[in-house]
Amino acid sequence: MTVRPLVLALSLASLLAPVSLRAAERPARVVVDPGHGGIKEGATSPKGVREKDIALQIARRVRAHLEKDLGAQVLMTRDEDMDLDLPARVDFSNKQRPDVFLSIHCNAMPTKRTRARVQGLETYFLSANASNATARAAADRENAEAPATRQARRDSTLALILQDLERTETHQDSSRLAYAIHPKLVSATGGSDRGVLQAPFYVLNGVEAPAVLIEVGYLSHPEEGRRLGNADYQETLATAIVDGVRAFLSDVRKRDTPRGPPVASPATP
């Protein structure tokens, strides 16, 4: 009997093994994606603070805590102020085969009245349908950078989402990741809880890992916009995100750890 088919079967099995099982044999691998960059500035605070800068500052702090507190391997889609389109962020992530994908953003409101009133934290995972009008508006704003006309983008986005949702376990784990991170953020910051929401974010399409987009606050709100630029507050946000990632990875690894066969009781004499 030749052993070649057996070796080939074992090799294929290792390639097809869930990411979470492979992760049990190495440090966690996390891709952190600071939103926007370069000419794409994102939202702006009343004092002129730009989302692209805040997202990068918080992402760097998240990386530092992931490496220090979790011993994780962290890869950034960008580590400087540079143009990087949304498909490139997805492609980069998938090449790294991460256990977790985190996209960091700040939110904004369009009118003077809503800018003065609306603040708080939102954590998103992928869905073909937005949870509510707020989620739809957030996705439309972030998706505006996608390289397509609005209608073409919607059509291709929906197709990609439906394909992604076929990978049910990854989608369920994205939900688990969002619900692990969001309460940590609300508890640590005392910020307004705007909930875990679903929306068709382009940057989450096709990511072959549990993936969330975190809106860490509203830059357009006078007080919250000021806090987001504060180093201590950024540290609070970063440590809360990492605490949520730690809880998620712990739960997933427990779930996916193979269990041995039950031990037989000793025979009665």
Instruction: Say yes or no to pLDDT of 154 above 80.
Output: no
Place of tokens 């070796």: 7
Instruction: Say yes or no to pLDDT of 161 above 70.
Output: no
Q: Percentage of the chain with pLDDT > 70?
A: 78
Q: Return phi, psi of residue 155, to 5°.
A: -65, -50
- At 241 the pLDDT is 98
In CATH, the architecture of 30-253 is 3-Layer(aba) Sandwich (3.40)
- At 63 the pLDDT is 98
Place of tokens 């946000």: 237
Distance CA 216, CA 211 (A): 16
Specify whether the CB–CB gap between 59 and 84 falls below 8 A: no
The mean per-residue pLDDT over the stretch 100-109 comes to 96
Does 115 or 10 have the greater pLDDT score? Answer: 115
Query: Would you kindly state where each structural domain of the chain is located, as residue ranges?
Result: 30-253
Instruction: Say yes or no to pLDDT of 172 above 50.
Output: yes
- At 261 the pLDDT is 64
Output the six-digit token pair for 244: 């949520």
- At 149 the pLDDT is 41
The tens digit of pLDDT for each residue in 205-220 reads: 889 999 999 999 999 9
Does 147 or 156 have the greater pLDDT score? Answer: 147
The tens digit of pLDDT for each residue in 39-57 reads: 999 999 988 999 999 999 9
- At 163 the pLDDT is 58
The tens digit of pLDDT for each residue in 181-196 reads: 999 999 999 999 999 9
- At 267 the pLDDT is 53
Does 2 or 74 have the greater pLDDT score? Answer: 74
105: nearest Cα among 86, 127, 88, 131: 86
Distance CA 29, CA 95 (A): 12
The tens digit of pLDDT for each residue in 123-144 reads: 999 987 777 777 777 877 777 7
Instruction: Say yes or no to pLDDT of 99 above 90.
Output: yes
Output the six-digit token pair for 47: 């004092």
Specify whether the CB–CB gap between 228 and 53 falls below 8 A: no
Specify whether the CB–CB gap between 126 and 164 falls below 8 A: yes
Helix (H) or strand (E) holding 170: helix 168-189
Specify whether the CB–CB gap between 60 and 79 falls below 8 A: yes
Output the six-digit token pair for 88: 């490139």
Instruction: Say yes or no to pLDDT of 58 above 70.
Output: yes
